[in-house]
Structure 1
Amino acid sequence: MMHMTFYWGKKVTLLFDFWKTDSWTSYTLTLLACLIFAVFYQYMEEGRQRFKLISSLSAKKGFAGANSVPPPSQPSRINAPLLYSLPTVGGRRYAARFAGAVLFGVNSAIGYMLMLAIMSFNAGVLIAIVVGLSVGYLHFRSGGEEDVVVVDNPCACA
């Protein structure tokens, strides 16, 4: 029977029927696997965000390289990522968006698997995943301010 409250113990069924722990060795290896997957999740998230930033910067460079002002057929718009999309340059923009979507899908799948692992309600699994996410964030995503993108827009709602 599945636990509905957090519990401490070495007997855990994690994600699949065949992933059952019954000894301290298998439980420790399971916690280590949860920790590693949580760190990997943060690594993938950092890579996905960096890829998105690089692809958007390269698209802007390609757009600005052709001519410094937007084409006359397009009205002047606010330069905000969610409100303005750059034109496709030779299909590269589509390829970058597709690769970003694939990375997003993989990262979402890992995140949902971690969430389902926590829903085993084993306190050790919860702690291992939270520690893994924290270590991964510290190692991969708590860089300097060079990763921050600022959009200059006087409108508070954008």
Structure 2
Amino acid sequence: MYDERDHGGRMDMHPSDGSMSKHRMMHMSFYWGKDAIVLFSGWPNQDLGMYVLALLCVFSLAVAIEVLSTLPAVKPGHKPIAGRMIQATVYAFRMALAYLVMLSVMSFNLGIFVAAVGGHAVGFFLAKTPALAKAEPAHETMSSTTLITPKV
């Protein structure tokens, strides 16, 4: 039975074959450290270089999700069915990347979480900020000479 006091917020994970030879702990709360397991068993394997690579991969996936969400609609020259298929394929690819980022964050490693949130923020800044700027009407700035001053 799971007892949080004995395992410091981690849960025992036993191999599916019933053997007890490979006994690992899975974190059930956020923690710092390079001992994360991200997407694949044994990766980054408590290696600092591989952990940094995992952070960069999660960051890049999150940026890609935001960039893919701003792709323009299919050009008018395409056939309607072909255009819908292209959009559906891009959407499926974007959702696959989003699920990979979600599963990475479920490692409960704070470094991975920060990399995912940071990647989404940078991706939003790179991809959506220019689109939002084009959509907003241009505001004219008023100089000090155009201000109306009250007459005394």
Residue 82 of structure 2: aligned partner: 95
Residue 149 of structure 2: aligned partner: none
Aligned residues: 111
Unaligned 5+ runs, structure 2: 1-24, 137-152
- Looking at structure 2, the residues matched to 34 and 131 of structure 1 have their Cα atoms a distance apart, in angstroms, of 10
Q: CA deviation at 1:146?
A: 3.6
Distance 1:112 1:147, change over 3 A: farther
Unaligned 5+ runs, structure 1: 60-90, 149-158
Residue 105 of structure 1: aligned partner: 92
SS of residue paired to 2:83: helix
- Looking at structure 1, the residues matched to 68 and 135 of structure 2 have their Cα atoms a distance apart, in angstroms, of 16
Q: 1:141 aligns with which of 119, 124, 128?
A: 128
If the length of structure 2 is used for normalisation, what is the TM-score?
A: 0.66
- Looking at structure 1, the residues matched to 44 and 82 of structure 2 have their Cα atoms a distance apart, in angstroms, of 41
Residue 106 of structure 2: aligned partner: 119
More helix by share: 1
- Looking at structure 2, the residues matched to 110 and 147 of structure 1 have their Cα atoms a distance apart, in angstroms, of 27
Residue 66 of structure 2: aligned partner: 42
Which has the larger Rg? 2
Q: CA deviation at 1:21?
A: 3.1
RMSD, matched Cα: 1.9
Question: How far does the alpha carbon of each residue in 1:80-137 deviate from its partner, in whole angstroms, 9 at most, with x for none?
Answer: xxxxxxxxxxx80011001100011000000011011000000000001100110010
- Looking at structure 2, the residues matched to 24 and 104 of structure 1 have their Cα atoms a distance apart, in angstroms, of 34
